[in-house]
Amino acid sequence: MSPTTSRPLPATSSSNKERNSSKRRKSIYPSNLTPLPSALRPHCTAKDRLILWLPANTRTLAINSTLLDPSRIQDILIQTWADSTRESYGSGLLAFHIFCDAKGIPDFQRAPAHSDLISVFIAYLAGSYSGKTISNYVCGVRAWHILHGQVWSLNDLEIDALLLAAQRVSPATSRRKKCQPFTVSFISAVCRHLNLNNPLDASAYSCLTSGFYSIARAGELTIPTLTSFNLKRHIKRSNVRMERDRNNIKIIVLHVPETKTDREGEDLSFLQQTPNDPMDPWVALDNHFAVNDPPLELPLFSYHFNSSHRPLTKTKFTQRIAEAAKAAGLEPLQGHGMCIGGTLEYLMCNVSFETVKAKGRWKSDTFQLYLHKHTQILAVHMQKHPTLHEEFI
């Protein structure tokens, strides 16, 4: 079945834009994805839908006491999900309610949702959207139930089978292009088409080399939007420190105050690679500090803009590196390719699998997936005589 305008689609996230326009702030939903008006579902951003969109059946406590406040449960539960997850789940919740609107499902039957309703919801989307998107939508509805104290009791065997089937019938158009890794040669070519005395270029290039050699995700070193900087969540210049190992080797440590998987934050690190070489992350970082000199409590890769500093957003970072890549005659790469590229670079330098896995904070299944996709890594370890085919690696 082909997608139609009446079908729910993923909500467009405003965090993917450099700056939100006034028009976008007024229009929360895409024109063809507006739910029917309801006092239970006020207009709000995607990440706030989980908590602000209410079920018709409200939570009741088994213990009858005026001293107990059920809203306190929500205040704590909402901390379970990172903002980016809440935004993604909010898109799923929008899709679910548009589906229910289209099928005439009354509010009191939407939560707690019967297993049959969730099954039909999955079947309705299958064949039009990727299995991963559909699974994420269901997770969003589940999170909404949990947050508002609604029973979530499904026929797990049927739901799991439907999600597997949805994965198998995913349309070709929903499959993402394989994320190609950044390489040292790619970064070097990009560098030649940047002006490292330019504030933005110095910032973007330092972000690229720091991310590559620390195996960081682009979103960990940049800011989602110009107005979304959070001192407690995003990396600042004051989060940079130098350490020494037992051999007195200097290590640059970048502390990310909070990540999607760790509310306590995580440390990223890299060593000096080639002194006085622009490819070296230390050299690039020193140049960024010399050109931009971001204040200690501003985002690490802030750059001079007019008479002040502007945070480096993920959109601006990706855009500038893509422009330089095109100028070098190369196909622009996705931001996630920086993390993958750093992983592969260390493995190609014969750093052990376990060390690279720990450094990149890879989950086991994901790490193995990337290994299987890049046979040049495994080839080195599969040869009986490693030097035999050295010229081909």
Write down the pLDDT at residue 356. Answer: 79
Count CA atoms within 13 Å of residue 68 on its CB side. 9
- Three-state DSSP at 215 gives coil
H or E stretch at 308 = strand 308-310
- Note the pLDDT tens digit of each residue in 215-238: 998 999 999 999 999 998 999 999
CATH number for 48-56+72-174 (one of 1.10.150, 3.40.50, 1.10.8, 3.20.20): it is: 1.10.150
Taking the CB of residue 310, how many other CB atoms lie within 10 A of it? 20
Most confident of 142-151, 165-174, 180-189: 142-151
What backbone phi and psi angles, to 5 degrees, belong to 299?
Answer: -50, 140
The pLDDT value recorded for residue 278 is 80
Q: For the chain, what are the domain ranges?
A: 48-56+72-174, 184-381
| Ranges 170-174, 209-213, 245-249, 326-330: which has the least confidence | 170-174
- Say which residue, 373 or 127, is predicted with more confidence: 127
| Mean pLDDT along residues 301-314 | 95
Q: Which residues make Cβ contacts (< 8 Å) with residue 333, sequence separation at least 6?
A: 179, 180, 181, 182, 186, 321, 322, 325
Q: Which fold has domain 184-381?
A: hpI Integrase; Chain A (1.10.443)
175-184, 244-253, 280-289, range with greatest mean pLDDT: 280-289
